[in-house]
């Protein structure tokens, strides 16, 4: 649909804004251009509707070199949505939305029908909004109108330059959801510029990360997160890894594989001593084949010390467990719902694989946030960390 | 006090002269030259926004014209062969009226939010459509402010037209001065002053009604 071929843009023959990029955007694809400011993402976008002209290279839309197309006609067939809405303050909402259809000389009644249809599509009552002016609307509503104006003339391609950049986080998220829904219905080819990685990952079918006028990586969000091309990419997506890793991590990756176990035949006093020695407050009870039986906690051992003798008399068997391969997120959810401080993970042939404790969550957070291993790799703190399962 | 009574008696007893002077003042010495100035300065201001070099040149020329004392400018006009009477006065006032309108048209268009201009262009407006549908409507309040300044200045400057035989309310002032009749001076000066205040007020109101709600706050 859109093809960049060796496209470069220099300003004053010196400053290189875009440096030899090649990019193919497919029909119906939602492509997000992202990067730090000055990376050339907006320039790239604006070359598509010829607000900027490439210094060298060509851009093709449907196989046609756009430098050979009349720029006004080209722009009228490409939707354009910019930050801070760019709504005309002296025109009503209806006139603003109908602007491009009017430029394309649609008959007035068709424009009116289209405007009403669009307003209804985003749940804005046409009767009360048509004749109002942009300044009477909230920022979010204004930007909604900005988006409607961009799609009013039913273009195949829509360019969006940080459309939600100036909005508060909640409104921004609402509008992102709406845009996503809209896109599911309309399947337009959208090129979207942002500097917000959350937004890019949420909206894009493909995320194109740019730096110093070059494309560093162009991948779908999942691949971008899993295989960042280099340190720059990693750093750029860093802030967001927290949320996504929790989604993608499996329980093995956060598991402790050397839990303190006990046989059901173990005496209660011995159990109490082992807990003291290992500084834990529960033991995982397994049979001789390492199959899980249940859990005993220090609390119940103390309670039953006088009237019972062995672990098998007081072991809690009705506890939640997870199997290997479960997502870490599910595991933590179960863990917090149960009153036991640990969650056994069951491996092949019902054998105990390991456990997840609340401190596993802390370790994982540490890794994600500080991007290094938890200091538990040295012996001393390891014991300490294991010490309090609860 | 007696001067004011005499002034009033003069006004009442010379209605034709008064009305002629006011008519000449408003129509020939203000409306005509300011009208011409609008016709010339607005397009020039628009052209200036399309060429920075021209803008600098035109704005400085108009600025220099503005600094020439009005009586001197009037005399130049006579010396330049425009003769005496209304002609040199109209030309001089016209020149004076140019700058405020030119400058405000230029600034008015220049100060339209760049995002709005970009949106207009990006949506496929031609340069001319952008000017007519977006830039000029948004610059109107500013342009009108320039017209208001020009008009108010012109009403004052027009009183000097009488020195080159230009008539208007200045004619009464000059006559009164020559004859040492203060009440005749007042018959010219008071209406001229009231006229200036009134026109300034009316144009101010017009400016307010015409400014889009959205632009009033900033």
What secondary structure does DSSP assign to A295-350, as a single string? EEEHHHHHHHTTT--BHHHH-B-----EETT-BHHHHHHHHHHSSSSEEEEE-GGG
pLDDT exceeds 70 at position A387: no
Task: Identify the residue among A71, A77, A80 best suited for mutation to test binding to B, counting B beta carbons within 10 A and taking the highest.
Answer: A80
pLDDT exceeds 80 at position A383: no
pLDDT band for position A245 (50/70/90)?
Answer: low
Q: Which residue of B lies nearest to A45 if distances are taken between CA atoms?
A: B122
Query: Å from A75 to nearest chain B CA?
Result: 5
Spatial separation of the C-alpha atoms in residues A121 and A123, rounded to whole Å: 6
Q: Which residue of B lies nearest to A76 if distances are taken between CA atoms?
A: B124
pLDDT band for position A390 (50/70/90)?
Answer: very low
A150-171 core/surface letters (b: 16 or more CB in 10 A; e: else)? bbbbebbbbbbbbbbbebeeeb
Cβ-defined contact of A86 to B121 (cutoff 8 Å): no
- Listed by start position, the domains of chain B span 2-212
Cβ-defined contact of A72 to B124 (cutoff 8 Å): yes
* Chain A contact present for B125, CB below 8 A: yes
- Residue B89: its H or E element: helix B86-110
- Annotation: CATH topology of B2-212: MetI-like fold (1.10.3720)
- Closest CB from B118, B123, B215 relative to A89: B215
Tell me if residue A258 falls in helix, strand or coil.
coil
- Closest CB from B119, B137, B213 relative to A86: B119
Task: Identify the residue among A49, A90, A101, A138 best suited for mutation to test binding to B, counting B beta carbons within 10 A and taking the highest.
Answer: A90
pLDDT of res. A265:
86
Instruction: Give the pTM.
Output: 0.69
Choose among A249, A246, A252, A247: nearest CA to A323.
Answer: A252
In chain A, what percentage of residues exceed pLDDT 90?
38
Of residues B97 and A317, more confidence is placed in B97
pLDDT exceeds 70 at position A380: no
CA A281 to each of CA A162, A339, A380: distance values in angstroms, whole numbers, following the listed order: 53, 13, 18
Residues 6+ away with beta carbon under 8 Å from A326: A250, A251, A345
Q: Which DSSP state fits A267?
A: B
CA A31 to each of CA A28, A154, A218, A274, B153: distance values in angstroms, whole numbers, following the listed order: 9, 19, 9, 58, 58
Cβ-defined contact of A89 to B116 (cutoff 8 Å): yes
Cβ-defined contact of B124 to A86 (cutoff 8 Å): no
The residues that bridge with A356 in the sheet, in sequence order, are A343
pLDDT exceeds 50 at position A376: no
- Closest CB from A86, A87, A90 relative to B138: A90
Spatial separation of the C-alpha atoms in residues A301 and A310, rounded to whole Å: 10
The chain-wide mean pLDDT, for chain A, equals 85
* Chain A contact present for B211, CB below 8 A: no
Spatial separation of the C-alpha atoms in residues A89 and A98, rounded to whole Å: 14
Tell me if residue B41 falls in helix, strand or coil.
helix
Written as six digits, the tokens of B162 are: 């009488």
Asked whether A203 and A176 are in contact (CB, 8 A), the reply is yes
Q: Which DSSP state fits A134?
A: G
Choose among A193, A231, A222: nearest CA to A30.
Answer: A193
pLDDT of res. A373:
56
User: What mean pLDDT is predicted for residues A101-130?
Assistant: 92
Chain B contact set for A84 (CB, 8 A): 115
Asked whether B192 and B63 are in contact (CB, 8 A), the reply is no
Chain B contact set for A135 (CB, 8 A): 213-214
Choose among A56, A149, A136, A138: nearest CA to A96.
Answer: A149
Phi-psi region of A4 (alpha: psi -120 to 50; beta: other; left: phi over 0): beta
Written as six digits, the tokens of A93 are: 């909402």
User: Which pLDDT tens digit goes with each residue over A283-296?
Assistant: 899 888 888 888 88
Q: Which DSSP state fits A13?
A: T
Start-to-end CA span in chain A (Å) = 57
Of residues A337 and A2, more confidence is placed in A2
User: What mean pLDDT is predicted for residues A152-179?
Assistant: 89
* Chain A contact present for B128, CB below 8 A: no
């Amino acid at each position: 649909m859109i093809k960049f071929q060796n496209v470069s843009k220099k300003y004053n023959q010196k400053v290189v804004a875009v440096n030899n990029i090649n990019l193919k955007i497919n029909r119906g694809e939602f492509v997000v251009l992202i990067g730090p400011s000055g990376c050339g993402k907006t320039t790239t976008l604006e070359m598509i509707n010829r607000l900027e002209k490439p210094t060298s290279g060509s851009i093709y839309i449907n196989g046609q070199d756009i430098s050979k197309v009349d720029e006004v006609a080209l722009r009228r067939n490409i939707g354009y949505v910019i930050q801070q809405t760019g709504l005309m303050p002296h025109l009503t909402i209806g006139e603003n939305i109908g602007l491009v259809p009017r430029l394309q000389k649609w008959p007035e009644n068709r424009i009116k029908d289209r405007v009403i249809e669009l307003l209804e599509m985003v749940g804005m009552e046409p009767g009360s909004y048509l004749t109002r002016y942009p300044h009477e609307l909230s920022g979010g509503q204004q930007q909604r109108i900005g988006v409607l104006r961009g799609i009013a003339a039913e273009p195949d391609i829509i360019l969006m330059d940080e459309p939600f950049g100036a909005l508060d986080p909640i409104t921004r998220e609402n509008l992102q959801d709406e845009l996503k829904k809209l896109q599911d219905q309309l399947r337009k080819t959208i090129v979207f510029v942002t500097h917000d990685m959350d937004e890019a990952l949420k909206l894009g079918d493909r995320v194109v990360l740019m730096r110093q006028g070059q494309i560093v990586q162009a991948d779908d969000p999942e691949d971008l997160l899993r295989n960042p091309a280099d340190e720059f990419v990693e750093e750029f997506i860093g802030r967001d890894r927290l949320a996504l890793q929790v989604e993608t991590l499996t329980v093995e990756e956060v598991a402790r594989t050397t839990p303190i176990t006990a046989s059901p035949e173990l005496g209660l006093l011995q159990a109490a001593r082992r807990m003291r020695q290992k500084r834990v407050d529960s033991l995982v009870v397994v049979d001789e084949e390492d199959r899980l039986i249940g859990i005993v906690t220090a609390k119940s051992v103390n309670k039953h010390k006088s009237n019972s003798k062995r672990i098998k008399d007081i072991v809690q068997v009705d506890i939640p467990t997870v199997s290997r391969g479960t997502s870490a997120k599910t595991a933590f959810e179960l863990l917090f719902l149960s009153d036991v401080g640990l969650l056994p993970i069951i491996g092949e042939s019902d054998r105990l694989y390991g456990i997840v404790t609340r401190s596993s969550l802390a370790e994982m957070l540490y890794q994600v946030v500080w991007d290094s291993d938890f200091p538990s790799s040295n012996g001393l703190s390891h014991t300490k960390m294991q010490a309090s399962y609860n | 006090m007696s001067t004011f009574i005499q002034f009033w008696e003069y006004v009442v007893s010379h209605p034709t002269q008064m009305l002629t002077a006011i008519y000449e003042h408003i129509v020939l010495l203000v409306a005509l030259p300011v009208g011409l100035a609008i016709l010339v300065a607005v397009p020039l201001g628009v052209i200036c926004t399309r060429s920075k070099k021209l803008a600098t040149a035109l704005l400085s020329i108009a600025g220099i014209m503005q600094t020439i004392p009005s009586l001197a400018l009037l005399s130049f006009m006579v010396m330049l062969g425009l003769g005496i009477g209304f002609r040199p006065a109209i030309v001089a006032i016209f020149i004076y009226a140019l700058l405020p309108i030119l400058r405000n048209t230029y600034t008015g268009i220049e100060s339209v939010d760049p995002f709005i201009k970009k949106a207009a262009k990006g949506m496929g407006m031609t340069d001319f459509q952008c000017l007519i549908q977006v830039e000029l409507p948004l610059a109107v309040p500013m342009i009108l402010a320039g017209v208001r300044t020009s008009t108010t200045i012109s009403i004052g400057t027009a009183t000097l037209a009488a020195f080159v035989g230009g008539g208007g309310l200045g004619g009464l002032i000059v006559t009164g001065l020559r004859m040492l009749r203060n009440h005749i001076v007042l018959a010219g000066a008071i209406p001229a002053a009231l006229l200036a205040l009134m026109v300034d007020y009316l144009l101010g109101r017009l400016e307010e009604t015409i400014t889009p709600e959205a632009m009033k706050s900033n």
